[in-house]
Amino acid sequence: MADLLVRIDGATDPVPLRDCFWVLATPDGCATVSLVGREAATAEAAHIQATPRVLERDRQTRDGWRVDLYSRDQWREHVRPCFAGTCQHRAEA
């Protein structure tokens, strides 16, 4: 079976979706949920996986929560600190 390839942030080289991560983040950018790329083909599908309840998902969207796709390197740099409790988002809270 062929891999689904994606380009993240306009990168010239595509990467397999299975090597990426979908991340649900608060309006200030703090990651709250991370899914491996193969769990969803779109940001909307990833949001459904991360937040199954429609009313809660709709509220998150209205309030500015985002679902973005990250490469492994981007995840390590931007998302891992949120889960480790060392991100700047928590320092500002």
Q: How many CB atoms lie within 10 A of CB 25?
A: 21
With respect to residue 63, please indicate whether it lies within any of the assigned structural domains. yes
In a domain, 2, yes or no: no
In a domain, 7, yes or no: no
User: Is residue 14 assigned to a domain?
Assistant: no
- The pairing of beta strand 66-70 with beta strand 5-6: unpaired
Q: Is residue 34 part of a domain?
A: yes
Phi first, then psi: what are they for 64, rounded to 5°? 95, 15
Mean pLDDT (whole number) for 62-91: 92
pLDDT at 51 over 70: yes
Q: Given its phi and psi angles, is residue 83 left (phi above 0), alpha (psi -120 to 50 degrees) or beta?
A: alpha
Q: Is the pLDDT of residue 92 over 60?
A: no
Q: Is the pLDDT of residue 85 over 70?
A: yes
Give the helix/strand (H/E) hosting 71.
none
**pTM metric for this prediction:** 0.89
- Residues 63 and 40: their CA atoms lie apart, in Å, by 22
The residue with tokens 């299975």 is 18
Structural domain harbouring 67: 19-92
- Is the residue at 1 inside a domain? no
37 within a domain of the structure (yes/no): yes
Q: Total structural domains in the chain?
A: 1
Q: Is residue 38 part of a domain?
A: yes
